[in-house]
Structure 1
Amino acid sequence: MQAHYREVTMTMRATIEQNIRFFLCLTVLVLSGCGSDNTQSQETLPNQQAPVASTAELFAGNPLYAEPMDRPVDGQGVRDNPPLGWTSLLFVGEKLVTDTQREIWYTDLAVGSPTIKRIAGREDSPSETINPGACPDARFPNITGLAVKNDGSLVGVSATTQSGNAIFVVQDPFGPNCTVIFLAGPTVDGFVNFGDVDGSGATARFQYVEWPAVIDDNIYVIDSLNHKIKRIANDATHTVTTITTLPADKYSGHHEAMIALNGKLYIVGNTAIEGYIGEIDPATGALRDVIRGGPETFGDTRGLRLTGLATDGNGFFTYNRGHLLYVTFGGKVANIAGDGTYVEFGPSYNPARPQTAESVQLVALGRAVFLTFHDNAVYFSAKVQTDYVERIEIK
C-alpha cells in the first residue's frame, strides 16, 4: 500500500510539475524559450514532428547467406561473405563497433572501402571462458551489450548461466595498447556471482546483467532478473549501487535496450500486453513513461514486439514488426520506414538493392534488433539466415 501510495504521489507530482513548466513556458516563450535540459524542453513541444526517412540500403552483412556457421576473416569488406555476426551497434567517432557475443569488431567509415577488424575475443573459445589482458588474448562469455566512455574506451557486459555476470572495459580499443579489464563480476573461469549484492565490484552479485549505458563515466546496467538498474561507479573499487527497482507489474517482461541521453536513462521493452519506453533519473531513481500501450499505440494491430532503441537527440527510434518507429518525448509515434514485412523477405524482394524508406523490408527473426543513429542515418542490425545491417537515410 505504501509503495502504491508513493508511486501515485510521484505520478501526481510529475504531472503538476509538467503543467507548471508548460504554463511558464507559454509566459516566457516570446522572450526566451523553455528549459536548459533538452529532454524537458522537448516534453513541452506539442507539435514536435518526426524526422523523414528517405532511402535504405544494405550496409553490411548478407541476410540470405546460407552457411551461418562460416566465420569471416579480419580485413574483409563489410559486405563480403561469409558475413560478420553483427549484433550491438555503437559509434565511436566514425568507427562502428559491434559484437558477435564472444568477439568485438569494428569498421571505420572514414575510409573509402570499409573493412571489418577484430578488436578482442575469440568465437571458437569455450563459451564460459573469461580472460582479461591484452586484446588478442582476451575472452568474453556471451556479451549482452556495449557502450562507450568519454575517453573512447568501450564498456561491455556479459551474462551466462554458469560463469555469472561481468562488467568490463576495453581500453585503447583501436590502438596498440588495447587491453581488457574486468570491473565487476568474475575475472577468472569458475567464479560465479549470481545473486543481488551491491558494494565493491569484486564482490557484487547480479542476475543476468545487460544493456550498459554511460553517464559521467559511471556505468549503468539493467540487472534483469533482479528487476533493478545498477550503477558501477567510476571509482577505485568500481562500487555497485542499486539506483532504482523496476516495478514488476510494469516492467516484468523483456528489456530490449537502454541508452543514456541528457543525463537520463531510457529503456525499451515489452510486458505481456504492453510496450513501453521509460525514463529513469539516475540521481533520484524516479521513473516515468515516455510512452506505454498496446499494439494500437504503436500503429500495428497484428501484435507488439518493441526492440532496439536509438536517439537523434530529439526523440527515439525503435522497431516493431517490420516498422522503424520514431517516438517523440511527448509520446507521439510515427512509422518512418519499413513496409511491415518482418518474418521473411517477399519472394521478389532483393535485400541487396537500394530501397525507398516505404518499401524496405526490415525482417528480423527472433526478438533481437539493434539500432544506432549517426550522421543523419539509422543503422539497423538484425538476423534472417545470418546477420545484416541496413542503413536508413534520415532527411
Structure 2
Amino acid sequence: MSSVDGGDGSVAFPFTAPDPVAPPPEYAQLLRDRPVVRARIPSGDPVWLVARHEDVRRVLSDRRFSREAITAPGAPRLLPIAEGSKSVFVMDPPEHTRLRRLVAGAFSPARMRALRPEVERLADELVTAMAKEGPPADLMAGLAGPLPITVICRLLGVPYEDVGRFRAWTDIMLSFAHGRREEVVAARQALSQYLTGLIAAKRARPTDDVLMALIEAADDGDRLDDEELLAFGYTLLGAGYHATTAGLTHAVLALLRRPGELRRLRERPELLPAAVEELLRTSQAGGGLGALRIATEDVELSGVRIAAGEAVLPLINAANRDPAVFTDPDTLCLDRELNPHLSFGHGIHHCLGAQLGRMELQAGLAALLRILPGLRLAVPETELTWSAGLAFARPDALPVTW
C-alpha cells in the first residue's frame, strides 16, 4: 500500500487522494486486502482503521466501542474535541440516551416538514440572485455556503449579519491540522461567549426557533443545562453548516462531471430523492474523521483482535463502496434502489439532522437544475483550490457559468 510507514507496517492517515472528489485508492486496497489495519493519525496516536461495511456498522452500533472515551485527557483524537465535552455527539449511554431524548423533539419530522418550504424558498432566492447577476458566479459564495449557514442561523435564531463570525470560528474549530490548538481554543471561547449571550437573551425574551425549543425541552423535570446547550450549538454549526456545504459542493461537482446524468436528473426531477442518497453514498465530503471510538473490551473484527483501550476509526466512505453490499460500488447510479449507505452514521449516533441535510441537498440541487439549466464549470477543474486540513473537504471557490 502506498502510504505504509516502513517502520511498523502501519499506514499514515488521513490518506491523500489525488482527486478530492474521488476516494483515495487506499480504500479499495483496504476493502480487498486489509479490512482492519493499524494507522497513525497526525497527532502521532495509533488507531485501527476499519473499512468493510459490516465491520463499520458494528463499530458504530456496538456499545463496546465508546465515543465518550475520546474526550478523556490524553485520548487520541482527529478533531479538536474538548476534554470532557458534553456534546451528544461524543456521549455514551445513559447520558447520551438522556440528551438524545431531550433534543429529539427539536428535530421531529413535523418540525422538519414545516421548515421545508422555507429551505426551498431560500435555495430558489439564492440561485435566482446568481442568475440575475449573470455568469460567471462562485457557487460556494452564492449557494453552497449561504444556504446551510442561513438555515442554521434560522434554527438558532441568530441574525444573519453574524454569519461571517460563525463561519470563521467553526472553520478553525473543525480543523485537524496539527499545531492549531491555540487558534481552536480561542475560536471556541469566542463562540461560547456569543452563544451564552444568545441563550440568556432567549430566556429573557422567548423566540420561535430550535434553540428555544432546546432551552424549553423537558422530560419529567429534566432539562439541558447551559453547557449542554452550548455543546449542541457547536454540533449544529459543525454538522449542519460545514457538512452540508461540503456535501452540496461535492454533489454538484459529481453531476457536472457527468453531463448525461445531470441532464437525466433535470428531465426527471422525481429521481432527486434517490439521486441525493446516491450522491451521499459516493461523496468524499466527510471522511468520517469524527467517528473515532475507543474499545472498552477486546473485540474481534474481520479476524483481527482489537484490544481494550485501543482507538478504532470506522471508515464510512470506504464502507459506502464495499462491493459486498453495493453492486458496481464506484458507479454513480442515480436510481439505485438498495442503498444502505452510512453517510449519516448508524446506531444511537445516527445523525439527528439527517432529514434536514437531505432536505437542503434536494432543495439546492432542484433550484440549480430548474433555474440554471446550462450549469457548468467556468474554469478547468484542475484550477480549483481546496481548503486543507478541514474535516469536511471543499474548494475555496467553485466558479460556474450557464
Same fold (TM over 0.5): no
Higher RCO (C-alpha 8 Å, min separation 6)? 2
TM-score (norm: length of structure 1): 0.27
Identify, as 1 or 2, the structure richer in helix. Answer: 2
TM-score (norm: length of structure 2): 0.27
